[in-house]
Structure 1
Amino acid sequence: MAWAVVVSVLVMTVLSLLRVNVIIAILAAGLTAGVMNGETLMGALDMLVDGMGDQASVALSYILLGAFAVAISYSGITSLLVGYLLRVLKNRKTMMVLVIAFVASLSQNVIPVHIAFIPILIPPLLKLFDEMKLDRRAVAAALTFGLKAPYVMLPIGFGYIFHETIQSSMSSNGIELGIGSIAQSLIIPGSGMIVGLLIAIFVTYRRRREPAVLPTQGKDYEHKGVEVAHFNHKHGLTLVAIVVTLFIQAIWENLIIAALAGIILMFVFRIVPYKSGDKVVNDGIGMMGFIAFVMLVAAGYANVLTETESVSALVEVSSGYLGDNKAFIAFLLLLVGLVVTMGIGSSFATIPILAALFVPICLSAGFSPMATATLIGTAGALGDAGSPASDSTLGPTSGLNADGKHNHIWDTCVPTFLHYNIPLFIFGWAASLFL
């Protein structure tokens, strides 16, 4: 059925908003999509399980990154960072959030480690956030901005992969366009995210917010004061391990090997005692294992949509209502992109699917190549922020909920959906009509 995508995404969204565990919500969405397309319940489940293997390497890399983050905490180097930020940024909430957004932006282009920095940087700062009465939703917005906006606008690091995916997908469907032109076509939509970030920081979440008082579900991260620690040889060796990890990831573009190398160096340098090996891995699984499993289930859901051709069916039905009004066509295509990416949770994985469907429609409607790139790139990026299954939301939650005081749906997904998808949609829609 053409509306299987819409109904299944609604199932996932409603269940998530009702605080049903996101894994259960995605499973329910995948089974709904399969059954609505004529599959038996067991057949839909088999499709979902078969697709989980597509994200196995990503899941393993996230678990190893969690273990590496735990190993780094053994050195006490994060205490130095907390002490420095306490001295420099205490009671300067706005500057704190802007610095976090800047650091997160570096993780996509300059030092392409994606979400790997979050479990290292954020948990030690949680006590400081509570003392400052800083609204963690503002931090979630800053982190998601840094994880998403740079790759949308800049063809560097992960951004180059994103833009190259758009280029190759368009080329496969009959439109040739250079990387530079694709980057230009996404500047206006990406600017919408900048507007959303500024509104989140200076308007929506500017007020002081009392920290939640809940039974802790994770480690109680605290700082001991301004002079938490002094730089020593363990900190220096930890920096060496971090640099080696970043170097390996940049050269071989493999997070598994990079994280594994970092963990091994932490043991070789005796920063982490050998006898603590089990604890490091177990704590790493506790920190990032949930994200890893959500990514696996989301890949299974995407496989159900792909195997049943639900997305193409939705576009075919929608195209019957398009007419020749460019503004309406662009609006409807972006809406389809929002729905699909909300379900799949990955901009990168959505692009090839959308390009195959969008290019013929855009060509027949008279959109320019740059306008077509704008629609494909914006439609792919829409929904990444706000999706319960996206690493752009799961990453921030993994750090902010380390003490059990941050809800994934209401404190990360809902704020990032409102502040980024709405301006991204509006700016992308306007750009497609002017380019």
Structure 2
Amino acid sequence: MASAVIISVLVLTILSLLRVNVIVAIIAAGLTAGVMNGESLTGALDLFIAGMGDQAQVALSYILLGAFAAAISFSGITTLLVQTLLRVLKDKKTWLVFIIAAVASLSQNVVPVHIAFIPILIPPLLHMFDKMQLDRRAVATALTFGLKAPYVTIPLGFGLIFHQTIQDAMASNGVEASIGTIARSLLIPGLGMVVGLLIAVLITYRKPKEARPSDGTGLSAIPEGEKVSFNAKHAFTIVAILITLIIQAVWGNLIFAALAGLIVMFLFRVVPFTYGDRTMGEGISMMGFIAFVMLTAAGFANVLTETASVEALVASSTGMIGDNKAVISLVLLLVGLVVTIGIGSSFATVPILAALFVPICLEAGYSPMAIATLIGTAGALGDAGSPASDSTLGPTSGLNADGRHNHIWDTCVPTFLHYNIPLVIFGWAASLLF
């Protein structure tokens, strides 16, 4: 049923905005999609659970990376970073936010660790943010920009994976395009994200903002800039970080990378063996929620895929718009927005959308470059702003470490407004230009 995707995503969005737990909202959305497509409640639940296994490795890697981040924080090395930032960037809020965006951008291409750096870097900075009266929503948009814009536009690291996913999906549907062509096709949509970042930092969230009271769910002990000096523990921590980054970059396995980092930290007594349970507990507290959201999002995606809901939505959306390219591009991009908000992953959405978009675009006379623009932009749309996306869950994991940052209203809504709107506009224009 064509309306199943729209209604189920509306269920997810409305429940999330009403502050219902995201995991509960995703389950409700998945069951809604299944029932609307003729499945029984138990049948829909079976499809949902069957799909959760697709993200088991990712979930485990996030928990282990959270434990590694907790171990790094225990070493005190992040306090050195905070001291340096306080000294260099005191009263320079705008520069601080742009530096955070730049650091986040490195996590996708140069040092591809994705969101693993956030629980290491951000929690020790929260006290500094509050002293500067920095609006955390500006930081959330900066982090999401760094997690998203580089892989959309630059074919290196995670960006190369994303561009190859688009290339393979197009090829399997009869259209060949080089990585260079795909990269050029996404430069204009990427420019839209730059515009969104500038608006968020320089206009929307520029004013001073007092930190809200804690909701009581955050970690109790977050470093607040006490004076420390570089010591052997910090040196061994840097070694552990480098080993983790090398393993991840060479073998692409986050689980082995995080385990290796933890082993080094314990072997060199950076973290005492007696703190093993505490370290894992804080890792689960920090990243476990993200892990379970990713599992449930995979279940929701499986329900939509197995019931052919997305195909029905595309068919009903394009069946009435004729051959007007301006209208076709807008409709396809909006379909991508709806689907990706529900699934929460641009990488997982691309193959689904390509199978549906390519025949429509070929019939309407689009060039391969324009098709790549639509698929890449539609896949990326919704990743920012989705309650189930790691591009929003990652920033929240760091900014809410003290229980003062709401995932939906302080991360998802700001990133949705500042990135999805420019992506639609710039992606639409690029598809017509190419």
Q: TM-score, normalised by structure 1?
A: 0.99
Give 1:255's aligned residue: 254
Give 2:210's aligned residue: 210
Q: Tell me the CA shift for residue 221 of structure 1.
A: 5.0
Give 2:127's aligned residue: 127
Q: Tell me the CA shift for residue 316 of structure 1.
A: 1.1
Q: Tell me the CA shift for residue 381 of structure 1.
A: 0.2
Q: How many residues align?
A: 434
Matches within 5 A, 1:235-246: 235-246=234-245
Tell whether the 8 Å contact from 1:346 to 1:390 is kept in structure 2 after alignment.
Answer: yes
Give 1:400's aligned residue: 399
Give 1:318's aligned residue: 317
What is the CA–CA distance in structure 2 between the aligned matches of 1:243 and 1:114, rounded to whole Å?
Answer: 15
What is the CA–CA distance in structure 1 between the aligned matches of 2:42 and 2:71, rounded to whole Å?
Answer: 41
The one-letter amino acid of 1:12's match is L
Matches within 5 A, 1:13-412: 13-223=13-223, 225=225, 228-412=227-411
User: CA-to-partner distance for each residue in 1:330-388, whole Å, 9 max, x for gaps?
Assistant: 00000100000000000000000000000000000001110000000000000000000
User: CA-to-partner distance for each residue in 1:297-325, whole Å, 9 max, x for gaps?
Assistant: 00000000000010011111112112010
The one-letter amino acid of 1:58's match is V
SS at match of 1:133: coil
SS at match of 1:283: helix
Q: Tell me the CA shift for residue 146 of structure 1.
A: 0.1
Tell whether the 8 Å contact from 1:124 to 1:221 is kept in structure 2 after alignment.
Answer: no
Tell whether the 8 Å contact from 1:126 to 1:221 is kept in structure 2 after alignment.
Answer: no
Q: Tell me the CA shift for residue 222 of structure 1.
A: 4.9
Q: Tell me the CA shift for residue 224 of structure 1.
A: 5.1
Tell whether the 8 Å contact from 1:345 to 1:388 is kept in structure 2 after alignment.
Answer: yes
User: CA-to-partner distance for each residue in 1:385-429, whole Å, 9 max, x for gaps?
Assistant: 000000000000000000000000000000000000000110000
30-39 vs 275-284, which moves further: 275-284
What is the CA–CA distance in structure 2 between the aligned matches of 1:310 and 1:224, rounded to whole Å?
Answer: 49
What is the CA–CA distance in structure 2 between the aligned matches of 1:426 and 1:316, rounded to whole Å?
Answer: 23
What is the CA–CA distance in structure 2 between the aligned matches of 1:288 and 1:75, rounded to whole Å?
Answer: 19
Q: TM-score, normalised by structure 2?
A: 0.99
Tell whether the 8 Å contact from 1:182 to 1:374 is kept in structure 2 after alignment.
Answer: yes
What is the CA–CA distance in structure 1 between the aligned matches of 2:24 and 2:123, rounded to whole Å?
Answer: 26
214-223 vs 395-404, which moves further: 214-223
What is the CA–CA distance in structure 1 between the aligned matches of 2:46 and 2:89, rounded to whole Å?
Answer: 51
What is the CA–CA distance in structure 2 between the aligned matches of 1:162 and 1:73, rounded to whole Å?
Answer: 31
249-258 vs 214-223, which moves further: 214-223
Stretches of structure 2 lacking an aligned partner (at least 5 in a row): none
The one-letter amino acid of 1:311's match is V
Tell whether the 8 Å contact from 1:82 to 1:223 is kept in structure 2 after alignment.
Answer: no
30-39 vs 310-319, which moves further: 310-319
